[in-house]
Structures are given as structure tokens and as C-alpha cells.
Amino acid sequence: MDMVVVQMISPQNKDELLPIIRSLCNENISSFIHINGILANISSYIYHNFEDFNWVGFYYLTNDGSLVLGPFQGEVACFILLKDKGVCQKAVHDKSFVNIEDVHLFPTHIACDSKSVSELVVPIMVDGNVVAVLDIDSRIKGFFSKDLEELFKGVGEIISTLFEQGQAYLDIPFISKHYKDSSEERDE
């Protein structure tokens, strides 16, 4: 297997992001673990190449409508986001991108990291259904311009294609049950 070599991009050169994300997704997928590893690399790459991002990561949609934490970069995060609460769930409900200028004014905001001020959530879709979200937080109010929103819509489309290609390995009900069962074991 060839090693993907990525170069750092500057915020002034954002047009390099989509080809790099495509190259990170150009891996043979033979399990959910491969998808998870690719998403880990994507979240790391984005986090380390945008100076004003303080959290970048993924949440997987489970069969009960909650979102469970996936690969991420940043401070410790909320493990489960309950249905109909928070910015990420709004993106799931609306099946659309959500760009919040000030999360502290969002009625059901879930404060996992008090340093986060603005948030962009990108739904990851397979066959018209949300299966995950890419969640990006910034410590700067109103950070996500229309240009950044468009850029990350492109990132979402690439990642959605990855999920479509790995659909055979996306047993979300199984993954959901595994997370729930292991969570209950830890709570006992």
C-alpha cells in the first residue's frame, strides 16, 4: 500500500484542501476500522491546518437518533449527543449544513468545550440519509465565512463518497449497539 504524503497548507491556499482530502480517502476499504482511520487522518489534517479551529471531528448517527463520538482532534468531547439537542443534531434533522455564528446564543447548544464560539456542521450523507457529521468549532465568533462553508461542503461530499464506497461496512445499528453496550458496561 502506498503511503500518502501530504503537505501543510496555509489558510491563504485553501484550494489545496479538497485534493488532499481526496488523497486521504483513496484507500482500500475492507472494514469500518479503515473508514475510522481515514476519518482520524482527515480530522487531524484539518485541525492542524486551520489555525483558528479548536475542535474538528466526526460523530456517527446511531439507530436511536443519537450521535456518538468518532475520530477527532481537540479537547475532550461529549461522547453522545442526544437526538434533537445541539448544533450537530440540527444538521441531522435538517439534512443540511449548519453555520452558527455564536453557539452561546443557540437554544439547545451542548457546551462540550467552553472555548468554542462558532460552529460549522457538515452532514455526511449516504443515499439521501445522514450517517455522520463533520463538526468544526472555532474560538472566534462568526469565523465560518461563506467561502469556508463552501469549502467544507466540498469536503463533506468527498467524505460522503467514502461512506458510499464503504457502505457494506457501515453497520450503524451494530456499531450503535456496540457503543451502547460498552458504555453501559463502563457505567456499572
Please give the pLDDT value at position 161.
92
If you average pLDDT over residues 156-169, what whole number do you get? 86
Q: Is the pLDDT of residue 183 over 70?
A: no
Please give the pLDDT value at position 4.
43
Q: Is the pLDDT of residue 74 over 80?
A: yes
Q: What is the pLDDT of residues 35-61, one digit of tens each?
A: 999 999 999 999 998 888 999 999 999
Cross-strand partners of 80: 68
Please give the pLDDT value at position 182.
53
Please give the pLDDT value at position 187.
46
Q: If DSSP codes are grouped into helix, strand and coil, which group holds residue 14?
A: helix
- Mean confidence (pLDDT) of the chain: 83
* 186/34: higher pLDDT: 34
Cell digits for 61? 448517527
Please give the pLDDT value at position 47.
94
Query: What are the φ and ψ backbone dihedral angles of 144, each rounded to 5 degrees?
Result: -85, 100
CB 39 within 8 A of CB 70: yes
Helix intervals (H) in the chain: 17-24, 32-49, 87-94, 146-165, 172-187
Local confidence band at 6 (pLDDT 50, 70, 90 cut-offs): very low
How much is the CA Rg of the chain, to the nearest whole Å? Answer: 16
